[in-house]
Amino acid sequence: MVVAAYEAAAGWPLVASRRAVLREQAQAVLATGRPVEWVAARAAEMPAKNWTDLLVHCQKSPVPVPGAASPAAAPFRRENCPLPGHGAFPADACSECEVDAIRRETRRVDFDPQALIRQMRKKTADAAAARRGR
């Protein structure tokens, strides 16, 4: 239903891989107890805005979830982490998410010295090979 809503809004069918991702994200959101109609409506909003991540969209959507206490009661609070393969409780204390955040952080700040050395060695080897070739 969620995928169908997305495709109807987009006006074309998704490729199989994208459909699988969207379905997985939809299942993760639905696992948090949001009504399928609400999730489908969010999915239908995505193509027009070129959005691809249903999880992020549902988390940030200002549209109130029917049956939820109030919009201020943060959507994913006191629930399992909705990301595939996480499922930690509560969501804001998910160690997997923490690890992901640290990975993203280090990837940005750090560079790989080994990779740099490999790259330099290759350059030297290529130069030597070029000299031998002539």
Interface contacts to Zn ion, rule CB under 5 A: 81, 83, 86, 94, 96-97
Whole-number Cα distances in Å, 89 to 29, 73, 82: 15, 17, 10
Query: Least distance to Zn ion from the beta carbon of 96, Å?
Result: 4
Comparison of 3 and 83: residue with beta carbon closer to Zn ion? 83
Comparison of 5 and 26: residue with beta carbon closer to Zn ion? 26
Comparison of 32 and 47: residue with beta carbon closer to Zn ion? 32
Structure letter (DSSP) for residue 91: G
Q: Which residues contact 87 (CB under 8 A, 6 or more apart)?
A: 80, 81
Query: Least distance to Zn ion from the beta carbon of 97, Å?
Result: 3
Q: Which contacts (CB < 8 Å, 24+ apart) does range 72-80 have? A: 75/32, 75/34, 76/32, 79/32, 79/33, 80/31, 80/32
Query: Least distance to Zn ion from the beta carbon of 86, Å?
Result: 3
Query: Least distance to Zn ion from the beta carbon of 88, Å?
Result: 6
Candidates 35, 29, 39; CA nearest to 82 is 29
Comparison of 46 and 94: residue with beta carbon closer to Zn ion? 94
